[in-house]
Chain A
Amino acid sequence: MYIIIAGCGKIGANLVKKLSNDGHDVVVIDPSEENLSQLENGTNCLAITGMPIDEDILKSAGIEHADALCAVSSDDNVNIMTAQIARQLYHVPRVVTRCYDPGKDEVLQQMGLCTVCPTMLTVERIGLLLGETEEN
């Protein structure tokens, strides 16, 4: 698949590594050169410096023929806007949005966006681990 990763923080950089190791064509976008420098040497991907909510940047990343886009920057609203541009303006078949705010996450799901909420994942996971500890 041709996949665009919008945001190159810890999650973005690790996602790039995993997906390119799995044999996908990966393009990563981030406004910060410093973030992009986190990518390990030899990671097989194209890195673009710029704001992912800028249509021109998305076009240069090949959004017109992308199979998937993951909006995983640290800013919920940047992710929401990027995801909607991909989904509604460029009809990218698979779009995943990271959203930290659980309240907003619910609304996004109602709007039809496919989301991942790291806050609730962590809360639920810690809850589970505590449950296990109690049982032990």
Chain B
Amino acid sequence: MRIVIVGGGNVGYYLVKTLMAEKHRIMLIDSNRARCERVENAFGGAYVEVTHGDGTSVDCLRDAGIYHAEAFIAVTGQDQNNLVSCQLAKDFFGVKRTIARVKNPKNIRVFEQLGVDSVISSTARIAGSIDQELDWADVNSLLTQKATHVRVREALVVPGSPYNGKRLGEIGLPKGMIVVCIVRDGEALVPDGETRLAADDNVVILGNEADLPRVISAVRGEEI
């Protein structure tokens, strides 16, 4: 997959390192020459290209080759720059999937309402969720063409989740939503209503786009 990353600070640096190991083609943009050189010297080559410039400028994004990108990730330390980058990528250049980092967690809602596909509020969560988000992006872009409102998401059941220890039948998922698969101890199982969720289960859920975020948050034991 071709991925544009804006921001080559610590988050960007390790993101490049992680994603290039999975044979993604990375185009990294940063406005600071020293940060560009650090990434170029460490990873520059067939999989990683570095562009020095403003990732919120139309010309710079074009020069970096954004037209060929399937995913766009903005991880600078400034929320306003990450928002504008993602909006240009999506609205002007037609990149299908945009992911932004926010410093202020209150901006998660703001970014989602302003059209960013995935919003991540901390360095720790980026490392964990980017792989999943990118993998499911392919499935979801297929679903978008076939059935507009249906999406697939994956989430890890935490010990504090209200669903931990409950049977699927008693959770009361919204209408039309199903748990397609549970990955437990490295084995995938197809559940039914009697299947009990446990901490550390990875659940794959198929359902209406509007209902999914609430259920995913509950699985992860996050405050809603």
Contacts and interface: CB of A to CB of B under 8 A. Distances in A.
A101 B110 contact: no
Nearest to A75: B80
A78 interface: yes
Interface string B77-119: 0111101100110011000000000001011001001100000
B106 to A, nearest CB: 6
Given A54-B106, A88-B114, A104 B58 contact: yes
A53 B84 contact: no
A103 B78 contact: no
B91 A111 contact: yes
A104 B57 contact: yes
Nearest to A81: B80
Interface of B: 56-59, 78-81, 83-84, 87-88, 91-92, 104, 106-107, 110, 113-114
Contacts of A84: 83, 114
26 contacts: A53-B79, A55-B106, A55-B110, A56-B106, A76-B84, A77-B78, A77-B80, A77-B83, A77-B84, A80-B83, A81-B80, A81-B110, A84-B83, A85-B110, A85-B114, A88-B114, A101-B57, A104-B56, A104-B57, A104-B58, A104-B88, A107-B88, A107-B92, A110-B91, A111-B87, A111-B91
Contacts, number: 54
Given A54-B104, A103-B58, A81 B83 contact: yes
A56 B107 CA distance: 11
Contact of B80 (A80, A88, A89, A106): A80
A88 B113 contact: yes
Contacts of B110: 55, 81, 85, 89
How many of chain A's residues touch chain B, expressed as a range? 20 to 34
Majority-rule SS of A interface residues: helix
A7 to B, nearest CB: 12
Contacts of A78: 80
A77 to B, nearest CB: 4
Contacts of B57: 101, 103-104
Interface in A56-71: 56
A135 to B, nearest CB: 35
B101 to A, nearest CB: 14
Contacts of B78: 77
Q: Which of A53, A81, A104, A111 has the most CB of B within 10 A?
A: A81
A130 B213 CA distance: 58
Contacts of B83: 77, 80-81, 84
Nearest to B113: A89
B58 A77 contact: no
Contacts of B87: 80, 111
